[in-house]
Structure 1
Amino acid sequence: MEKFLKTHQWLQGPDFLWNDEDEWPKCCENLNIPIDDPEVRRPVNVCTNETTQREGVECLIQYCSDWFKLIKMTAWLIVEKEYLKSAVKAEQEEPKEDRTKERKKEVKKKLQLTISKRTEAEKALMY
């Protein structure tokens, strides 16, 4: 082991590395490797697909370019949620045939985006 550590070539490398590159020995080895060489690995194609799953508010934040668009989109989601809840409730209370035009007008009024919905959306995002 001591003989191995005392060898200057181990610590400094071969002598020609300390000379200019012009003085280095020229490579005379044949670098052409035969295609059927058993020690050469064949290239392997690997296909990957990276997906990241975002949930809820994180997905909305990533999609929207600024705070006001995020509030507006969230407010519309709240309006839609309320509409769907009322539609399910109406379906349970009265059959489809019994619904009147007045009821449909009421639903359309609820589908408007109001300041109170925007405020509700802002609170939902903050808390």
Structure 2
Amino acid sequence: MPSLQLWIPFAAATLAFACMPGPAILYMTAQTVALGRRAGLIAAFGVHIGCYVHILAAAIGLTSLIEQAPMLFAAIKLAGAAYLVWLGLSMFMGWASRQAKPPALLPKPCATASSSRSSIRRPPCSS
């Protein structure tokens, strides 16, 4: 069994990593801040559904099946890469179409709140 001198730094490092937000938390926070509470809840629901898919795959043995079939694993990786390329192109095309709009059609910038108290009572941007 490891000594106490090894357990203390290990516990400190584990605690530090446990307190760090991961990409899922950052995604949910960004959705909530940018689009509101409902969008944040939908993002949280989607993240949890994704976790449950992974848990279900492990529970029924798909993980070991994919591990034993290198061609299947390669196909899944290629499908994932194609999906990421499609997402990137979709985002770029959306950005390009927003850049082509005349200035009159662009959304107006948000007004700044006069005080922190008023920004709590009403949001500085309303759509």
In the superposition, the TM-score normalised over structure 1's length comes to 0.24
In the superposition, the TM-score normalised over structure 2's length comes to 0.24
> In terms of Rg, which structure is larger?
1
RCO higher in structure (CA 8 A, sep ≥6): 1
Q: Identify, as 1 or 2, the structure richer in helix.
A: 2
